[in-house]
Amino acid sequence: MTSSTVSRVAIVTGGSRGIGRAVAERLAADGLAVTIVYRSNEQEADAVVEKIEAGGGQAIAVQADVADEEAIARAFDATEEAFGGVDVVVNSAGVMILSSIADFDLDVLDRMHRTNIRGTFVVDQQAARRVRNGGAIINFSTSVTKLGSPTYAGYAATKGAVDAISPVLAKELRGRDITVNAVAPGPTATELFLDGKDEETIDRLAKLNPMERLGTPEDIAEVVSFLAGPGRWINGQTVYVNGGMVH
């Protein structure tokens, strides 16, 4: 398949594992060519590309730190070279480190802010310049911004910034038919989330919502798919994807 036959093209940051991987695989299943941007998991990123290609889709993997504007510009360049343009950008790369405010390591706070705030801003900046008319930009927030759970202040603060960025960018792209939204998952059963948690903790988190289960990466990817495709009248919003978790 040549780039001329590709109808729509997506870039997914953090696409080598977890929710990002589910998003990349879902968008590929929807018929989009996909660029997976990864920071360090080259082997896992390549495995996602192989899986997408084995299913008849098109994908490439590009290494980049989302907070590095030159690296992200190169990722957009590589996507345009491979597939002819960019229509959808999904910012799912993120860092979550938990601690009370009193005990938080401020160097860790700076690192988390670099990825979650600067990284979102850098990727959105390239997206604003390069996404084709009729496209979609989807950032990642969190339901914890409303829940206010102890130890989540640093992380929730970074995602509160994402909630602020998305509607502003939506308005700045007036006239180009490009939607900008944020998706805010609740507790989701990724390897990263489950690691280090006992059964009691997992069960308690699962029961925060009336569906009484954890979300799956596929649950989140389904909403991203909608916002990336048919959901054209949702714009400038943070969409809570958490099974009705009480706030």
- Model pLDDT for residues 95-134, shown as the tens digit of each residue: 999 999 999 999 999 999 999 999 999 999 999 999 999 9
Q: And the tokens for 51?
A: 């899986």
Instruction: Over range 220-235, report the average pLDDT.
Output: 98
What tens digit of pLDDT does each residue of 183-207 get? Answer: 999 999 998 788 888 899 999 989 9
Question: Which residue among 38, 152, 155, 240 is the active-site one?
Answer: 155
Share of the chain above pLDDT 70, in %: 97
Structure confidence at residue 4 (pLDDT): 46
240 is catalytic: no
> Which residue ranges form the domains of the chain, and what is each CATH number?
3-240 (3.40.50.720)
Of the given ranges (28-37, 59-68, 125-134, 182-191), which has the lowest mean pLDDT? 182-191
User: Strand 9-13 to strand 59-63: parallel, antiparallel, or no bridges (unpaired)?
Assistant: unpaired
